[in-house]
Amino acid sequence: MTDKNTANHLKSLKKYTPARIGVGRTGTRPLTKDFLSFRTDHAAAVDAVYGEVSSKLIKELDLFSVETCYETKDHYLKRPDKGRILSEEAKTIIKEKCTLNPQVQIVVSDGLSASAIDENILDVYPALLDSLSMYGLNIGTPFFVKGGRVACMDDIGEILAPEAFILLIGERPGLVCAHSLSAYMCYQPKKGMKESDRMVISNIHRSGTPAIEAAAHMGTLISKMLDQKKSGVDLVV
């Protein structure tokens, strides 16, 4: 293959992926522009993990905030199990402020990317409320969980006993996108729930799954969960 053919082939491949392919090198080193781009994306990923969701944003969404047993960000990264358990204070606040046995419970959590919430939640959250409303579904009392992991759904489910649950949570950042949001859903969450009973719509961000499309799909899936009284691999979609 000639250099010209190689360049054309790489150009064609790059149309289909944001991955770093065919970046070239000078001697044994990467090109300066590519090295700087890598360092920039790495810094964005670190900032996403160690950042904090804007308190102004949480207030704007009219959410109250509780915490898991994560203690510190470093502890959160080393002990994922702590992010799955609510603090005793959080349990008390949720019991005081939330509607019990809601048809649909929505929770927002920073997870592994605070910037995912900062970048996407104002697009996703209102669209999700509209989608659920179109199906005539009743929503419980939404709130924010700091230091949450996906399975914190189960601890919350034990307290509120919702029929269906939606957790909007920041995804683990990569070097292509540091602000990707996921929506995890399940029917009647409880401790010991199998991962195969959960469903997820991932890569929600402006260069991935559009917010409105994701919210519409969430509404459809939740409606089917309530009709079929099941979720995950058992749900007929």
The number of beta carbons lying within 10 Å of the beta carbon of residue 187 is 24
- For the chain, how far is it from start to end, CA to CA, in angstroms? 47
- Length of the chain counted residue by residue: 237
Residue 45 main-chain phi, psi, to 5 deg: -65, -40
Please tell me the distance from the alpha carbon of residue 81 to that of residue 178, in angstroms, as a whole number.
23
Positive or negative: CA dihedral 173, 177, 181, 187: negative
66 marked ligand binding residue: no
Instruction: Give the β-pairing of 104-109 and 164-170.
Output: parallel
DSSP code, position 28 = T
CB 132 within 8 A of CB 222: yes
Joined together, the tokens standing for residue 129 give: 């409320």
Could you tell me which residues are annotated as the binding site?
Answer: 150, 171
Could you tell me which residues are annotated as the binding site for adenosylcob(III)alamin?
Answer: 150, 171
